[in-house]
Amino acid sequence: MAQLYFRYSTMNAGKSTEILKIAHNYEEQNKSAALFTPSIDDRYGRGKITSRMGFQRDALICGENNDMYKIAKEKKPDCVLVDEGQFLSREQVVVLTRIVDELNIPVIVYGLKNDYRNRLFPGSEALLLFADKIEEIKAVCWYCQKKATMLIKFKDGEPVSEGPQVEIGGNDKYVSTCRRCYAQKIPLK
């Protein structure tokens, strides 16, 4: 029976690499995977899933005339893979549940759980509510050896805790940290 998986972590845990690996493994077995990514993440080009290790694949953009349900129904992939799930809308997550429940196609979504202000992203909140399986991917704190669970955003070299929820960036703007190291830089609220 198909299920909706939400696999989350902080940055630099290998989420995009995992998606690319899963797609490759399906194709090695002569199966197909439909890959999706939100349009907001354009660091490496729109409609691209790119790992920090340099691997890249084209993906369909969620929304923007790409009806995920219709595509899954017509193409009948063996699996649907979604990168940057934190940027999905609640409505898009509900569409993913329909792909699982009505089309019996497994859906695996990777993304961040919380932002640098330690608030849930709307897509992550919906995924935490609707996913059949929730799995944490471990990452290591930038400053110590503990498990990273939070993000620190930097602006002009200084940690910040206020501002817009979404500002696309990589290691130039964000680092993954444990709670203790986060609190040493930004007081917990």
Residues that are catalytic: 84
User: Is 48:20 a contact under the CB 8 Å cutoff?
Assistant: no
- Rounded to whole angstroms, the Cα distance separating 50 from 57 reads 7
The DSSP code for 143 is S
> What's the half-sphere exposure (Cβ side, CA atoms, 13 Å) at 127?
31
- Rounded to whole angstroms, the Cα distance separating 112 from 121 reads 8
- Rounded to whole angstroms, the Cα distance separating 2 from 5 reads 10
